[in-house]
Amino acid sequence: MQSGRLAWRVLSGAVFAGIAISSASPASAQVATGDTSAQKIALSNNYAGNSWRQMMLKSWSNVADAAVKQKVVAAAPTFTTAESQATEQVQQIQNLILQGFKAIAVDAVSPTALNGVIKQACAAGVTVVSFDGIATEPCAYRIAVDFQGMGKMQVDYLAKRLNGKGNLLEIRGLAGVSVDDEIHRGMVDELKKYPNLKVVGSVHGDWTQTVAQKQVAGILPTLPQIDGVLTQGGDGFGTAQALKAAGRPTPIIILGNRQEELAWWADQKKSGYETMSVTIPPGASTFAFWVTQQLLAGKKMPHDIRMPVLEVKPGELEAVLAKTPPGSLANKEYTREEVVAVVDGK
């Protein structure tokens, strides 16, 4: 991972939510203690069409529901648009303002489409925290993963494995969302270091196995031999299935921590197959929940906050897979103390 960037990876050791991970020490974290028991926090989400988003919503509920029961906040429901359209999410946020929510965590449909309604929310005294899909309105707080660094990491890994030479297929995410743009930009920038690594094809897999499989199957007849596959998460297994159905050799496919991907990797590993798996944990929503609660409680935070990615390495695969149920992902759900420790750089 990039130097100067706080990075967590899955390790054998301390257990969280069934997955083992290293952890920032919360011992010196400065948790704000202002009373938020009467305040309501909402999650505004634009899309739930893949396992990452579904687990993201479940992680929010796991942590937020417990916080409601403990009277940390009064309510913390989730709201997801039906069609992943900007106009829908704008209306959704307007409704949340009218319903008296004091803070809104937002997984935004695009970097700019919600800026107007977010500015309205801020003017009405509502705290807005965007994560995963980041909004660029200055009054909002932004929880960002180094998605460009994640793209660069993949390119560097494939360059090392392929000795700097080979044909690559790029599987992109959901078009128009900042996450897709950032990961792609990181890949493009890093590929400049390796002139003999060529991206010979690119499709949008929408971070979904079935979409990726269909799109890859459609483009494969036009492509030469593929040596490596750059991905964004949720697309690795579908890509592998499309290649298999086409009778193609299996290239090095970067994976995204989905259970079906990890299970496929474990099976391929028996024959000596090697790769890596990395993505933002679905529990990013719990990171956003605690940032939002702490802002309401009076904690001073920068408007731009960096959170870690979650990487599964070959030596950790079996242990992680054993604790990752079908249909889910390797995950990290954050405590308030862990979030404050990350924000405070502890």
Q: What percent of the chain has pLDDT over 70?
A: 92
Residues 245 and 268 in one domain: yes
Confidence tier at 179 by pLDDT (50, 70, 90): confident
Residue 1 domain flag: no
Residues 219 and 286 in one domain: no
Q: Say if strands 19-21 and 8-16 run parallel, antiparallel, or are unpaired.
A: antiparallel
Residue 300: what pLDDT? Answer: 97
Residue 2 domain flag: no
- Give the pLDDT mean for 42-60: 94
- Give the pLDDT mean for 282-293: 97
- Give the pLDDT mean for 105-117: 95
CA-CA distance, 50 to 183, in Å (whole number)?
18
Residues 90 and 205 in one domain: no
Residues 67 and 165 in one domain: no
What is the tally of structural domains in the chain?
2
Residue 273 domain flag: yes
Assess whether pLDDT exceeds 60 at residue 58.
yes
Tens of pLDDT along 65-103?
999 999 999 999 999 998 889 999 999 999 999 999 999
Residues 156 and 60 in one domain: no
Confidence tier at 176 by pLDDT (50, 70, 90): confident
Residues 151 and 263 in one domain: yes
Residue 172 domain flag: yes
Residue 70 domain flag: yes
Assess whether pLDDT exceeds 90 at residue 22.
no
Residues 175 and 72 in one domain: no
Print the domain residue range for 67. Answer: 8-145+280-313+321-343
Confidence tier at 124 by pLDDT (50, 70, 90): very high
Amino acid at 133: G
Mean pLDDT of the chain: 90
Residue 3 domain flag: no
Residue 90 domain flag: yes
Residues 27 and 57 in one domain: yes
Residue 83: what pLDDT? Answer: 86
Residues 245 and 120 in one domain: no
- Give the pLDDT mean for 26-55: 90
Residue 28: what pLDDT? Answer: 61
- Show which of 255, 279, 303 is a domain's final residue: 279
Residues 153 and 25 in one domain: no
Q: What percent of the chain has pLDDT over 90?
A: 82
Tens of pLDDT along 222-241?
999 999 999 998 899 999 99
Residue 242 domain flag: yes
Residue 177: what pLDDT? Answer: 85
Residue 145: what pLDDT? Answer: 87
Assess whether pLDDT exceeds 50 at residue 44.
yes
Residues 47 and 192 in one domain: no
Residues 259 and 152 in one domain: yes
The domain that holds 338 is classified in CATH as 3.40.50.2300
